């Protein structure tokens, strides 16, 4: 893993942290490597993270390279990479609005056309499991089936991509959608959901713009 790619991972983590998506050193990011994946370390502020602090981990949890302890959520990342060979990057955040929605154990319905950024017609919320456990990893992968994003019950956001930039963009859009959805509900309004045919038109249009790649 080149230093430039390590720098990209740190820059993405710091950008999300600056947006308030990673309170109290929460959340974690990773990118796939030939031997496993490179992940942000445990208990280190993103503002202080350096390229050498990142940890390369095998899918079975073996630390391949790095002096620090990997994020406690390494199992979540490992299970996503094992289940989804097309995924090259995983972003897990505790962004405020999406996390609030996850605490109601509700997902996002197709109330806005940008829902397709999540890879389907909705964004599901997983079953609840304790953070850092294999149970959470399996619940996250199940909710992610056929999607690029899911909410983790009472926890946060799980986003994936074929690139780190793509996974970061998905995580940011999930937070934006959650903010809009909660604003509607808070105003006492019920959103008008898009039909399957309308969503198909959106996917077709987005494909022309290269938005879903």
pLDDT value at residue 3 = 58
Strands across the sheet containing 89-93: 63-65, 55-57, 37-39, 28-32, 89-93, 156-161, 149-152
Give the Cα separation of 185 and 192 in Å (integer). 12
pLDDT of 209 reads 55
Domain CATH number, residue 118 = 3.40.225.10
Q: Tell me the whole-structure pTM to 2 decimals.
A: 0.95
> Judging by beta carbons within 10 Å of its beta carbon (0-12, 13-18, 19+), is residue 189 exposed, middle or buried?
exposed
Q: What is the pLDDT of residue 207?
A: 77
> Which parts of the chain register pLDDT below 70?
1-3, 208-213
Q: Which two tokens stand for residue 152?
A: 């983790």
Q: Which domain holds residue 33?
A: 3-209
**Do residues 40 and 46 lie in contact, with contact meaning Cβ atoms separated by under 8 Å?**
yes
Domain count of the fold of the chain: 1
Q: Which residues are catalytic?
A: 73
What pLDDT is attached to residue 46? 96
Write down the pLDDT at residue 206: 84
pLDDT value of position 1:
44
């Amino acid at each position: 893993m080149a230093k430039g790619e390590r720098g990209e991972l740190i820059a993405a983590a710091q950008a999300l942290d600056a947006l308030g998506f990673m309170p109290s050193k929460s959340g974690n990011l990773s990118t796939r490597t030939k031997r496993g994946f490179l992940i942000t370390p445990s208990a280190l502020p993103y503002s202080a993270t350096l390229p050498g602090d990142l940890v390369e981990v095998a899918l079975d949890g073996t630390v391949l390279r790095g002096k620090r302890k990997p994020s406690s959520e390494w199992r979540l990342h490992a299970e996503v990479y094992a289940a989804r060979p097309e995924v090259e990057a995983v972003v897990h955040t505790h962004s405020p609005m999406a996390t609030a929605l996850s605490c109601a154990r509700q997902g996002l319905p197709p109330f806005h056309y940008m829902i397709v950024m999540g890879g389907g017609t909705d964004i599901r919320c997983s079953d609840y499991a304790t953070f850092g456990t294999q149970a959470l990893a399996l619940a996250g992968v199940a909710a992610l089936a056929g999607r690029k994003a899911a909410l983790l019950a009472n926890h946060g956001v799980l986003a994936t991509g074929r690139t780190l930039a793509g996974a970061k963009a998905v995580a940011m859009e999930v937070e934006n959608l959650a903010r809009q959805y909660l604003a509607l509900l808070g105003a006492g309004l019920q959103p008008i959901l898009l039909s399957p045919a309308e969503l198909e038109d959106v996917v077709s249009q987005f494909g022309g713009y290269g938005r879903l790649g």
